[in-house]
Amino acid sequence: MAELEGLEYGKSDFVLLDEVTMEQFMENLRLRFEKGRIYTFIGEVVVSVNPYRQLDIYGKEVIEDYRGRELYENPPHLYAVADAAYKAMKRRAKDTCIVISGESGAGKTEASKYIMQYIAAITNPSQRAEVESVKNVLLKSNCVLEAFGNAKTNRNDNSSRFGKYMDINFNFNGDPTGGHINNYLLEKSRVVQQQEGERNFHSFYQVLRGGSDELLKSLYLQRDPAQYAYTSQGASVTLASNNDSLCHKAVMAALKVIGFTAEEIISIYKILSTILHLGNLQFTSDGEHVILVGEDTVKHISELTSTEPENARKTLLYRTVATGGGEVIEKGHNEQEASYGRDAFAKALYERLFAWIVGRINSVIEVKDYNPALHGKNTVIGVLDIYGFEIFDNNSFEQFCINYCNEKLQQLFIELILRQEQDEYQREGITWQHIEYFNNQIIVDLVEQPHKGIISILDEACLTAGKVTDTVCLDSMNKKLGQHPHYTSRKLCPADKTMEFNRDFRIRHYAGDVTYSVEGFLDKNKDPLFQDFKRLMYNSSDPVLKEMWPDGKMSITEVTKRPLTAATLFKNSIIALVYKLACKEPYYVRCIKPNEVKSPMLFNDGRCQHQVAYLGLLENVRVSDQEAVEAIVNQHGFEDDVAYGHTKLFVRTPRTLFTLEQERAALIPILVLFLQKVWRGALARMRCRKIRAIYTIMAYYKCYKVKAHFWEVERCFANVRNMADYGKSVEWPKPPAALVQFHRITQHLYRRWWARQLIKNIPPSDMAEVRAKVAALSALSGERVDWGYSRAWERDYLASAKDSPLTSTNFVRITKELKNKDQYSQVLFSCSVRMLNWFNNTKDRALLITDKHIYRLEPKKHFKVQKRISLDVVGVSVTSGSDQMVALHTTSQDDFLVHLQRGQLNPNQDRVGELVGSLTDHFTRVKNTPLPVKVCSTGLQVHMSGKPKSITVETKPGQTVADFKKSRTGFTLLLPHQ
């Protein structure tokens, strides 16, 4: 590192200081800051100083410099610790975490973004689409969470007003497969009020200044934030490095990339606009009742929340309560209660919106269908970016919770880095000098200890019946904590005029003394919201809003368990977070804020020294520096740099460690290959034995299943000859996989046998009709429902005395003459038809089809032959309806278009199937060629005298007989109305 940076930049690792004193530590830190070196190591801990400017040290080339390199191979950088955590996770399949800590404005959020970008850049070298998608969502989620969870404070233009812990899941290849985000304690009080010089959450200003005119119009919003009570305080506050309009476009794009639907995005901005409109609601009193000022605003709110205006108005003015007897009454608010309810509703809306956005992101990035047996071990890198320690002019409940969280994280740092290392020295028998450090467990206990801690006292006050004020709660804290060395108040210390009587208490935190105002503590801890608002939102027709308020479905009279207070919920979540971090191998980034005016040039010694002190950085250096020498590793020449404990080797300087790491890295592939060879051989032999056993079992089982199937089939079909349906109703047993093909063949043979049993009983005289019906069934393919299959087929209807009693004798005589003349063998079909003539007029004619010709006959002229063509039909077209229209297509493109007339035998019988079946059977058996049959659902296409015509079918009221009528594209068959 010294070779890469040069001595003019100071010591790149604080453990290399000649003497570990606060003066040398600060001198080295200042020198590196002034030279643009904002990162410095303390062993494996990275100290980061906020430069308050953009530095060209984060590009692709820099990423490549740190990819896969050891921690001390390159100058200190966030990328170095990110790569170390990634390598530890990938090499040892061990879960790791990167804890980023420091004051508000020290650069924690930016550090977390750079770490995320580095992990995204070095993973997925094969560019698999699903992994790239996960990476994109993980990166884009930062943009969305900053918009809705960050705000401008007096210390920081982009201050995280919530805590964020993100787990990134990796597969055995080291590629990210998903993740999960935990959010902690959103500062929702900021929604309705901000301190002077601060702004509301970025999202409000982004939509007002960056939303399109159409969007703002649909949300009933004006572009000026000063028009709204909740954003007016920060409307004139400018940001040095944040363009609200550009950020809005980036957030909209990020939401789409993550997977939010267009409907979900508009619902998000409807909720934001609802909050802004709520802030502008005013209440006045007419003496007895509270009145809403501005009904239009209520209408806008109800429209944006998809609720009824009257319900919204009543919810804002009244509270529904249940009496002890189960009676439900409406109690009107006074002005103060109505304003309180409005603000509580606005805060709850934003808090639930934020939680829903986080949950929606989690639903997209969570690892799905993970199976360790198939996908290998799933390892995790956790990244913690949580609010820094805060001391404001007015510190309230939020600062109390935030600073308690920092106490817990500092305690974790002490446990893992300082105390454990010193305890290890003692166990290993290493000569060392005990380092004094501040153990802040006493402050953690002050806040969270059961029955005695501040949170327990707050909860007890919240649960006490009757009117318990913040002042009463402060008195209770004074009584129970008056002797605690880290707690005081004005009552306990009357001479300290920096605190107010009955209002302030002070905690001596590890980072400094903080005075808290107890005003509002109980309200914020109870976090009350009238149930009417929850019911109003649950009954919204907007599915996004409804999903956010599941507790709104409870009835008014339903008795529920008292919910946990805000402080207890936060305490439980932070304890769970610390437990989660303690289970992982930690890497630390300790952020330092160089000045209070966000200057890239100013290094305030007092402020920085204070942070170095309370972060325990000097003690961290001393623990590393006291590594004594007990034995010499002669073969490496580390005479003054290595000591042996009872079970571990202790190394003082990074160069020695780096050399050892290099040699270890060179040896690992050789050992790994050898172990892989031996283990793969063992695995292959075990697998071979298992496969042999499996195949043996499979062979016997297969044989059993085959025999069992044969026995089952034999049992099922043993008596089918004596059944009325010859076993058609018998259900076939399901075959094993090996017999699927055999099963199909067996079924086919059975069906042929079954058909034979039926056919053998049919008289030879009926076989022609059976064949014709089978041919019709095949040709029509089930597309025509009724085709006359259930009746006897006459075929030659004009020769039937029953069907044509007046003309049958004459027709028989004429057909005998035609048979002698044209030498045909049989009549395939005949009946009376309605037919188009050459002049496109419709006439009643007779249709005769023989095995050689098709005849058009004139019935009124003793069946004189009008047209005769060879039976050279190239196709038949019919409709899928019940009409009797048939088109016989010919090679001469002069098609026969007829409507079959029903005779006296049965006026309702369908003869289309009979004609189709007779022709199809003849063509198949005699001509040995298939006859194309087309069943049309809308109409027919024919050629007449070589010209194409379209034939449609219509039902016409008042029509007595079927007839053809000329249309624009051809003809229409008009049918009588049934």
pLDDT digit string (tens) for 833-867? 998 766 677 888 999 999 999 999 999 898 999 88
Name residues whose C-beta falls within 8 Å of residue 627's C-beta, 6 or more positions apart in sequence.
430, 432, 643, 650, 651, 652
Mean pLDDT on 523-552: 91
Sign of CA dihedral 214, 220, 225, 226: positive
Instruction: State the pairing for strand pair 318-322/39-42.
Output: unpaired
What does DSSP assign to residue 731? P
pLDDT tens-digit readout, 467-505: 789 999 999 999 999 999 999 999 999 999 999 999 999
H helix runs in 781-890, sequence order: 808-822
User: What three-state secondary structure class fits 254?
Assistant: helix
Structure tokens at 869: 């063509």
Give 629's pLDDT tier (boundaries 50, 70, 90).
Answer: very low
The secondary structure of 531-592 as a DSSP string is HHHHHHHHT-S-HHHHHH-GGGGS-TT---PPPPPHHHHHHHHHHHHHHHHHTSEEEEEEEE
Mean pLDDT on 61-67: 93
Nearest Cα neighbor of 137 from 86, 176, 183 is 176
Taken as a whole, the chain contains a residue count of: 978
Instruction: State the pairing for strand pair 585-592/96-102.
Output: parallel
Give 765's pLDDT tier (boundaries 50, 70, 90).
Answer: confident
Give 2's pLDDT tier (boundaries 50, 70, 90).
Answer: very low
CA 501 to chain centre: 52
Structure tokens at 371: 């199976």
Mean pLDDT on 691-698: 92
Half-sphere exposure of 71 (CA within 13 A, CB side): 24
Binding residues for ATP: 102-109
The pLDDT value given to residue 626: 36
Mean pLDDT on 663-687: 87
Binding residues: 102-109
SS (H, E, C) 421-435: HHHHHHHHCCCCCCC
pLDDT of 794 strictly over 60: yes
Give 669's pLDDT tier (boundaries 50, 70, 90).
Answer: confident
